[in-house]
Amino acid sequence: MAKPDNRADNVEHLQQSIQNTEENMHEAEDYLNEFSSEISDTERNQIEEKNERRKESLNSFREEVQDEAAYSQD
């Protein structure tokens, strides 16, 4: 038997994901600022690309929060 759709804490989980992703992105930026002269171009590119994916994820998380807000108003 399928569980009922309990969306009560979805916004909370999404907000936690947003916060974690932002923290990881800032840590990566700090790392690049501190060690950019010591790391390879490949590593720098990988970190920058990962941060771009994080930005995309943040946009998706924020859209989901808006969807959840709209759902809760129904």
The tens digit of pLDDT for each residue in 10-69 reads 889 999 999 999 999 999 999 999 999 999 999 999 999 999 999 999 999 999 999 988
In a domain, 28, yes or no: yes
In a domain, 31, yes or no: yes
Between 19 and 5, where is the model more confident?
A: 19
CA–CA separation, 19 and 27 (whole Å):
12
The total number of structural domains in the chain stands at: 1
Is 53 a domain residue?
Answer: yes
Note down the domain range covering 28.
22-37+44-73
Q: Among candidates 72, 73, 74, 59, which has minimal Cα distance to 7?
A: 72
Q: Is residue 32 part of a domain?
A: yes
* pTM greater than 0.85 (yes/no): no
